[in-house]
Amino acid sequence: MPESTLQAGTIDELLRPFPPSPASVIPLLQQVQTRYGYLAPENLARVAEYTHAPRSRVYGVATFYSQFRLSKPGKHVVRVCQGTACHVLGAEKILDELKEMLRIEEGETTADGEFTLEVVRCLGCCSLAPALMIDNETCGRLTRKRVGEVLASWRGKDRA
């Protein structure tokens, strides 16, 4: 499992490629989230320190953009599309089915820590609506059966 906080050694490795200026805040937060899955408070503070930006500004950025997570997600993040094309082709039902299969609401993580369920607006895969994305992989033409298969194939898999 990944560490939840930045270690002295790894932080340099993660931050060093970026100039220590406030313009680096977003890419740095993205790096931290890619590595750890979310933005822990101590990591937000460290990014603020490194970029010479006030903590409030870093926190403001982290909460403004929907990509950022402030709590620890499950091993795989399921992002189900509720964009226009998916909406008119029954995406709401797919969301309900996911909730039922995983027994969680959107924004929550399953008890076994495998899956976190999130909602997004369009994955750019509208021609194969309804669609979802697990970690970085998109799946389209979803039906109830397909959703079940997709979840089964990811369960137990390591994070990509």
Partner 1 sequence: MSRVTEVSIGLATCGIAAGAAEVHSRLVSSLAGHGLPVKVKRVGCVGMCYNEPLVDVLSEDGTHHTYGHVTVKDVARIVSEHLVAGKPVEDLLAPEDGFFSRQVRIVLENCGLIDPESLDEYRARGGYEGLKRSLFEMTPSQVIDEIKASGLRGRGGAGFLTATKWGFAARETSPEKFVVCNGDEGDPGAFMDRSVLEGDPHRVLEGMAIAAYAIGADHGYAYVRAEYPLAIERLEKAIVAAREAGLLGEHILGSSFSFDVVIKAGAGAFVCGEETALIASIEGRRGMPRRRPPYPTTAGLWGKPTVINNVETLANVPWIVRQGAAAFARYGTERSKGTKVFALAGKVNHSGLVEIPMGMTIREIVFDVGGGTRDGKAFKAVQIGGPSGGCIPASLADVPVDYESLTQTGAIMGSGGLIVLDEETCMVDVARFFLDFIQKESCGKCTFCRIGTKRMLESLTRICAGEAGTNELDRLIDLSRKVKRHSLCGLGQTAPNPVLTTSRFFPD
Please report, as ranges, the residues that interact with partner 1 according to CB under 8 A: 21-27, 29-30, 51, 53, 57, 60-61, 64-68, 81, 83-85, 87-89, 120-129, 131, 133, 136-141
Of the pair 16, 64, the CB lying nearest partner 1 is at 64
Cα torsion for 150, 160, 11, 65, to the nearest 10°?
-40
Q: How far is the CB of 133 from partner 1 (least distance, A)?
A: 7
Hey, which residues does 118 pair with through a beta bridge? Answer: 79
User: Nearest distance from residue 95's CB to ligand FES, in Å?
Assistant: 12
Nearest approach, Cβ of residue 5 and ligand FES (Å): 35
b/e burial code for range 60-70 (CB count within 10 A of at least 16 → b): ebbeeeeebbe
DSSP string, 105-155: -TT-B-TTS-EEEEEES--S-GGG-S-EEETTEEE-S--HHHHHHHHHHHT
> What residue number has its CB nearest to ligand FES?
83
| Among partner 1, ligand FES, none, residue 138 binds (CB under 5-8 Å by kind) | partner 1
Summarize as ranges the residues that interact with ligand FES (CB under 6 A): 81, 83-86, 122-126, 129, 131
